[in-house]
Structure 1
Amino acid sequence: MKRIITLVAVLSLLLCAAMSAQAADIELAKTSTLEQIVQRGTLRVGLEAGYMPFEMTDKKGNIVGFDVDMVREMAKAMGVKLELVNTAWDGIIPGLLSGKYDIIASGMTINQERNLKVNFASPYIIVGQTALIAKKSADKIKSWKDLNQPGIVITSKLGTTGEQAAKRLFPKATYKSFEMEDQAMLETMNGKSDATVYDLPMTSIFYSQHGKDAGMVFLDEPFTYEPLGWAINKGDPDFLNWLNNFIVQIKNDGRYERIYNKWFGSNDWYANIQ
């Protein structure tokens, strides 16, 4: 008899614990950014319009690109409107943390340092660092490993993984940072630096549009592994779950392939960019 009473007591405690956990999950779901987006009727996306072909401004002043088309599909799947918030790169994570927008979709590389501040959904594309070499330096730089020597000047964009890679992998070289990636690449094209380290496909686009005719050499084999992901605030499992499922579905129903081919399959879009 005592065993039966004890068993009933244990079952009652387990039931209460389960009900308490379920109630906590429901309360957590109510505070999710996903719920706020649906209630507000708008998905607010933080990005910096200057990273071709992920996000950039066309001749009409509209922000377009691979990331833009992806989040447009995201908003459509949520049944809400899309609001793009153009933000300087060095303030893009603080903007998310302060609630300026709901998500960052701006070609952001997933790394440990950023992951301390934000959560990332599963990668939606993989890129890596490549190098554009000035015409004057082509004879002495045949591989990315040749960049790590005294007297070599390397450029990249401030606050990016290109900058991090240049400092980490080429400590013997001199590094110069620029506010925008095209400034860094023009510095090399004009012979004022030896190389620019930056993300593929941005380097590929610059080379095909400008660098090839200027005699630059493009070391197009990436020497880093860089998965790009959408960043959201920590402590939001519901939103993270939704985003990961969205990535799986869009990659398997033809939408991802259509968007990818539009922006990476050709350079036809470049004629409409400022």
Structure 2
Amino acid sequence: MPYTDRQNRVCGYLDIEENENSGKFFRRYFMLEPRTSQLFYYMDNPLNLPKGSAPVGALNMTYVSKVNDASRIRPKAEYCFVINGCDRRYYLQANDAQDMMEWIDKLNDSCKIIVPPASTMSQDDSTFRPGRSNSEKTISYKTEVIGGVVVRTPIHTGDSDSDSSDGTGHTNTLPARLSSPSNLHRRRSGCMPIKQGFCVKQGAVMKNWKRRFFILDDHGFSYYKNENDKDAIRTIAIRDMLDCKESTLGDTLLRDNLFEVSTISRTFYIQADSPEEMQSWISSVCGAIMAKRASVATNTWTL
């Protein structure tokens, strides 16, 4: 679900069809800046990227006519909606129906924002594309996204100029819904996952943050490098867990949606993609802990 961060920006993950009509969607982290009505999207949450990483692309919402449900236009793309820009349509996929409607509402609200003064627009635009002279700012441009890169083409010349990106990196970040290890996990562990999905975890030694795919089942809380890995990096046994709750260190660590899993030997700090996801993980993990304790108590009483 979209959430508002500490800088009053609307943030969250969506899948975007970067090349129009390609039918291929890629997972991106979106950030809507209400002050300038700019919608930026990144390879991942900027907190998880190297410092100074540029956005993959950007849209000026003041030039968008409408954002609406696109389920009839793209029946095969679940929870799909469209941003109708001045030069093309941008198709995006949400996680579920409620997520889609919330994004549509927030993006439509941003379209109503009054266009900032010319001086503000020039400053923001030159920040996003460094090195441009003042004379270039008066030229009319056609804006489009090609291969995940914002390309602005001067109408009178036809030449293109693209922002920097990591080039080939985006093809490795496929939506979780397209490929899931749940069936593989079931064959390996003998049980179906209680909950699964991507989160960001703090490392034990270097204290760096890395995106991992988590699976919770009746036996443990496992995390993998990606959703297709056969072997978990680590599995935290349910019997070793003491508690799972929202962390009080969110402000200290500068992490939204932070929760912690306490074990006998260590506390794991994990960041969810939204407040709703955080609460869902906490509820699921706490439920698994209580079920395990009840099972142990029953077996002990029977003996």
Q: Shorter-chain TM-score category?
A: under 0.3
The TM-score with structure 1 as length reference comes to 0.23
Higher strand share: 2
Higher relative contact order (CA 8 A, sep 6+): 1
The TM-score with structure 2 as length reference comes to 0.22
User: Based on CA coordinates, which of the two structures has the bigger radius of gyration?
Assistant: 1
Higher helix share: 1
